[in-house]
Structure 1
Amino acid sequence: MLAIVVMMTLGVLVAVGVGVYVAYPHRGEEMPVAPQLGNAMRKGVDALPTLADSESRV
């Protein structure tokens, strides 16, 4: 029972994090309450590898 509660809480936290990222840093806006968190989210996403346009053509 405890494992279900922990996993559901983790899932909700991830969903909230994605929603906050899409609402503010992804659109280039500052987060109103915690701008440091928005900067950290943006840096983390910028560090991830992405697929360039030239690489996506098969």
Structure 2
Amino acid sequence: MLAITLMMLLILVVSAAVVLYVAYPHRGEDLPVVPQLGDAMRKGVDSLPTIGDHEDIRA
């Protein structure tokens, strides 16, 4: 029972982080209460490799 509770808590924390990222830093705005968290999220996403719009996905 403890494992299920901890996993559900982890799922809620991750989903809240995704919602906060999409709501604020992804649109270029700062988080109202903790702007440091938004900066950390933006830096983390900028460091990950992504596929740009100009790259052709087909091989």
TM-score, structure 2 as length reference: 0.90
Q: Going by fraction, where is helix more abundant, 1 or 2?
A: 1
Q: Structure 1 CA distance, aligned partners of 2:27 and 2:8?
A: 28
Equivalent residues, number: 58
Q: Percent identity?
A: 60
* Cα displacement (A) at 1:55: 4.1
Gaps of 5+ in 2: none
Q: Which runs of 4+ in 1 moved over 6 A?
A: none
**2:25 aligned with 1:25:** yes
1:10-52 CA-partner distances (Å, limit 9, x unpaired): 0000000000000000000011100010000000000001123
> Equivalent residue for 1:16?
16
2:57 counterpart residue number: 56
